[in-house]
Chain A
Amino acid sequence: MFGPAHGAKLWIYIGATTAAFVAVFAVLHWLPVRFKRWLVVVCAFLGGLFYSLEYYLPAKHRWFPGGENPLSPLVIPMGNAVAVVSGFALALGLINLGLVHGRNIARARPGWYNSVAFFVALISMIVFGLWQSYVPDAARAAGLGLSGRQVHRVYDVLFSGLFQPLGATLFSVLAFYIASAAFRAFRIRTAEAAFMMVSAFVVMLGQVPVGQWLTRGLPTSVENPLHYFRLENAANWLLNTWSMAGMRAVDFGIAVGALAMALRVWLSLERGSFFEVRESKK
């Protein structure tokens, strides 16, 4: 829809877009709440209508100008516009974090030193993250007495040496949590729990070599009904037939529920602060 722009044209585009955004925000700010709600309702309806029509109208039809769905070429620009608006929100997140942690330090709340650590981490990552992308990974001086190679190494230590291992450490805790959760789930107190325990036992054994070894004597030929009793086959049968059917049933329910919810949001029937607050004060 919009071709790439260069030179003066690019700056005109940037200036016009910024001015348009400022004008829209100013208008939104000064509008009375009633009109703001109407604006949200109209925007939600038009947005939903655009995507519905684009999807449900066929890709090609002789009634369309040029024979192609006229809305399809607008999908990418619309997506880009949404991404740009979401991008503005990142600054809000940083401001919120800065305010929360800044107040912790200013008021010397318990654990204020964690907030200091937050600012140190934030500033270090921003500085070295941007710096390393602008200097080559070479021995040449990059400023502040550091070479480009040193800047890249510091960034590597921060990202690959600290950030990623910290995430991996937390992920590894999951193994212990799964064990403790499984222990609670498999305590046989009811018939359902016993049934689940037996099913889980078969599935777990069917996934490991020792399980396959235990039933190695049974036939492998699909012609022989006894092959179903091989643990790996029994595990697959439980997973692909019973478990999968249950999952798909839940997915069907979710799809219809999401459709109902989407209709409510699209037609502004959903309750919430961005639509009409219908609940009476209790």
Chain B
Amino acid sequence: MRSEHANLGQALLFLSVSLVILAAILMSRRGRQLFIRRIPGLSAIDEAVGRATEMGRPILFTFGLITIDIVSMQALAILSHIARLAARFGNRLIVPLADVPLFTLAEEVCREAYAAEGKPEAFNPDDIIFLSDQQFAYAAGVIGIMHRERVSSAFYFGYFYAESLLLAESGQIAGAVQVAGTPATTQIPFFMVATDYTIIGDEYFAGSAYLSREPTLVGSLVGQDVGKGIMLLLIVAGTVLAVLNKIMPGIFTQNYLAKWLGG
């Protein structure tokens, strides 16, 4: 099998964005105060847990159908935050899963969160459930839990497919406050209409930094924004070059940037 390789332009772009992110992390760790804007969806997580406490009903957290990857790593960090809040306020947290390796990690994250709050005995391993790795069997299981347990708050953080609307509409019918976050662009519209708060695009990867306010993660978040700025400049430059290539083909014989980055 022949694997794909980056060209020089792509490697340099990757390196420069990575260096910007690492520089921002270093600045933040050295005590420089960096500003991060308010993200309503992430702020709503604490409110949703608070609502569950007031109503005395469980919280549900689901990852969708993902396995262990960058998306699930972020979801685990958010789960850790929610599990700590649930442990602090004595809420029941139910985490149904569709992937076994992720199930073992989720169980460990919740166990450690309860222990970190000084309530290891409150952790119930039966609430971290592997349901099925089949899409609709998993969706049916989660919907069943939502209605049987009458969850008051539902969190959807991970990667979702057609089951996204099934879950979110069922949560809506069950009367749960719902917060969703996914990098799956095709599922964002469904979450937008069916949940109370939706975290989209790179806001999803800002989750752990926003919730913990740790200098390392905040620095990474600011570096991420600068990286987006670099991308924006490249898009503008590429657009200008494409236009010049059209109107002055004698001088600008090709879109040099597209050639450099495209290989």
Contact = CB atoms under 8 A, between A and B. Distances in A.
Nearest to B10: A56
Contact of A259 (B21, B140, B193): B21
B11 A92 contact: no
B166 A174 contact: yes
Contact of B166 (A173, A252, A263): A173
Interface string A148-184: 0000000000000001001110110110011011101
A93 B103 contact: yes
Interface in B180-239: 183, 185, 188, 190, 192-194, 200-206, 208, 212, 214, 216-217, 220-221, 223-224, 227-228, 231, 235
B166 A256 contact: no
B135 interface: yes
Given A167-B137, A251-B185, A271-B217, A90 B228 contact: no
The 9 closest A-B pairs by CB, nearest first: A257-B205, A257-B202, A253-B202, A93-B100, A167-B136, A273-B112, A253-B201, A185-B193, A177-B169
Q: Is the interface of A mostly helix, strand, loop or mixed?
A: helix
Given A261-B74, A271-B80, A89 B224 contact: no
Given A100-B126, A272-B109, A259 B18 contact: yes
Given A257-B203, A270-B77, 10 more contacts: A54-B3, A96-B130, A167-B134, A177-B169, A180-B169, A257-B202, A259-B18, A260-B227, A270-B217, A278-B214
Contacts of A282: 88
Interface string B82-101: 00100010000000000011
A65 interface: no
Given A92-B104, A252-B231, A265 B165 contact: no
Given A93-B130, A256-B228, A250 B18 contact: no
15 contacts: A54-B3, A59-B2, A72-B2, A93-B103, A93-B130, A97-B130, A181-B193, A181-B194, A250-B200, A250-B201, A253-B202, A258-B71, A263-B22, A264-B216, A273-B112
Nearest to A181: B193
A90 B220 contact: no
Interface in A73-125: 75-76, 86, 89-90, 92-93, 96-97, 99-100, 103, 111
A24 interface: no
Contact of A181 (B22, B137, B165, B228): B165
Contact of A281 (B67, B117, B129, B206): B117
Interface in A228-251: 247, 249-251
B193 A182 contact: yes
Contacts of B243: none
A92 B100 contact: yes
A165 to B, nearest CB: 11
A15 B248 CA distance: 69
Interface in B105-119: 105, 108-109, 111-113, 116-118
